[in-house]
Amino acid sequence: MTQSMGLETGTVDVVLGLDTSSYTTSLCAISLQSGSILGDKRRVLPVDSGHVGLRQSEATFLHQRQLPELMFGLHETFRSLDIRKPVVRCIGVSVRPRPLMTSYMPVFQAGASLAHSLAHFLEPIPVVQTTHQEGHLAAADFFLPNVEEQPFLAVHLSGGTSDVLLAAPTRFGYRIEEIGIGADLHAGQFVDRVGVALGLPFPAGPQMERLALSVLPGQADTFHLPTSVSGTSMSFSGPCSAAMRSIKNGVAPPLIAHAVMRSIATGVIKAIHAGLQHHQVGHVVIAGGVSSNRWIRDRIVHRLAILHPGLKVQFAPPKYSSDNALGVAAIARKFILS
């Protein structure tokens, strides 16, 4: 895969990616020939103040309303790049959260419906069905230089997963073996519940990070939250309950936010360390919205460099760690070129 952002004009063969998660409506167009990103349009689903998410029916409706607006925005991007004749050759779409037959969420049907409708109208053209989780891994892979297509350890941190995975690239995306799953509350839920309780808007990740970074170095060690990890399985319900008690007890919000970040980073470090005891791999990819947090990234990289010298620890750029359709488009392009 490539991260080229080169300008292409005239007639361009395009691969379109769609992802309609519980949090974000995402479209991405990449060049079939070069793999360069031609357009990337996303919009977070609106959530009322004080709430920590949406019902699936509400989110599905919002996707259906936002998709045409984002498609128009993508068209305007093509015009600004002087791409006069974009020809869609393939569409990639996430149709479920994870690559398991039992994995299902109605929100993904909004993107799947549009993908298949467009595909029947245009030619028809092939639709590559993949998953939200594989899209996150592919978005990270898109920016990783010279990574051989060998099995690797992956950690998917989001509002719906805190999974540790053994992943190997395939023509269709990834062959994934779950070696550790979130035992209860996931990392993204932990951040959002504490953030909303502190009066921050949902999703609370960016605001929680800013709050945590306001803690002075001498203050950082004055307050901690527990970390609960059993082997490669992380649990954040206990740390979340402790954080909620701390809010009621009047602990300063920046200290709570910092402790939340540290609890998540420590959990990931312990889970990866446990996974590496049984799986000899050369690199680890950490993906998903929570992994866009720079403090968490730096903490993980620093500690793993001590525990496992020589291990490559890699992330997508923060912009492509949060929900996006780039990885979905990249999976479709790889499939059609194989």
- On whether the CB atoms of residues 195 and 207 are closer than 8 A, the answer is yes
Task: Report whether the peptide linkage leading into residue 203 is cis, meaning its omega lies within 30 degrees of zero.
Answer: yes
- Among all chains, which residue has been given the structure tokens 């998903």? 288
Residue 158: inside a domain? no
Measure the CA–CA gap between 131 and 134, rounded to whole angstroms: 5
Residue environment code for 187-200, b if the CB has 16+ CB neighbours within 10 A, otherwise e: bbbbbbbbbbbbeb
Asked, for residue 105, whether it belongs to a domain, the answer is yes
Claim to verify: residue 194 and residue 273 sit in the same structural domain: yes
Is 160 within a domain?
no
Q: Does 327 lie in the same domain as 275?
A: no
Q: Does residue 240 fall inside a structural domain?
A: yes
Report d(CA 17, CA 28) in Å as an integer.
Answer: 5
- The CATH number of the domain holding residue 265 is 3.30.420.40
The runs of H, that is alpha helices, within the chain are 56-80, 108-121, 132-142, 187-197, 205-213, 237-248, 253-276, 294-307, 326-337
Pair 236, 310 in one domain: yes
For residue 154, give the nearest of 167, 145, 141, 143 by alpha carbon.
167
Residue 133 belongs to some domain of the structure: yes
What the block records as the tokens of 93 is 């779409």
Closest CA to 176 of 159, 187, 161: 161
Residue 265 makes CB contacts below 8 A (sequence gap 6+) with 295, 296, 299, 300, 303
Q: Please indicate, yes or no, whether residues 286 and 333 belong to a single structural domain of this protein.
A: no
- The domain in which residue 195 lies consists of 180-315
Kindly state whether residues 185 and 112 are assigned to the same domain: no
Tens place of pLDDT for every residue, the chain, 338 residues? 444 444 455 689 999 999 999 999 999 999 999 999 999 999 999 999 888 889 999 999 999 999 999 999 999 999 999 888 899 999 999 999 999 888 999 999 999 999 999 999 988 899 999 999 999 999 999 998 655 678 999 999 998 899 999 999 999 999 999 999 988 899 999 999 999 999 999 999 999 999 999 998 889 889 999 999 999 999 999 999 999 999 999 999 999 999 999 999 999 999 999 999 999 999 999 999 999 999 999 999 999 999 999 999 999 999 999 999 999 999 999 999 98
The 10s digit of each residue's pLDDT in 230-265 is 999 999 999 999 999 999 999 999 999 999 999 999
Would strands 85-96 and 11-20 be described as parallel, antiparallel, or unpaired? Answer: parallel
Instruction: Reduce the DSSP state of residue 314 to 3 states and report it.
Output: strand
Residue 169 located in a structural domain: no
Is residue 172, in this structure, part of any structural domain at all?
Answer: no
CA atoms of 267 and 303, how far apart (whole Å): 12
| 198 belongs to a structural domain | yes
pLDDT in tens, 264-315: 999 999 999 999 999 999 999 999 999 999 999 999 999 999 999 999 999 9
Domain count, the chain: 2
Q: Which candidate, 102, 106, 239, 236, places its Cα nearest to that of 159?
A: 236
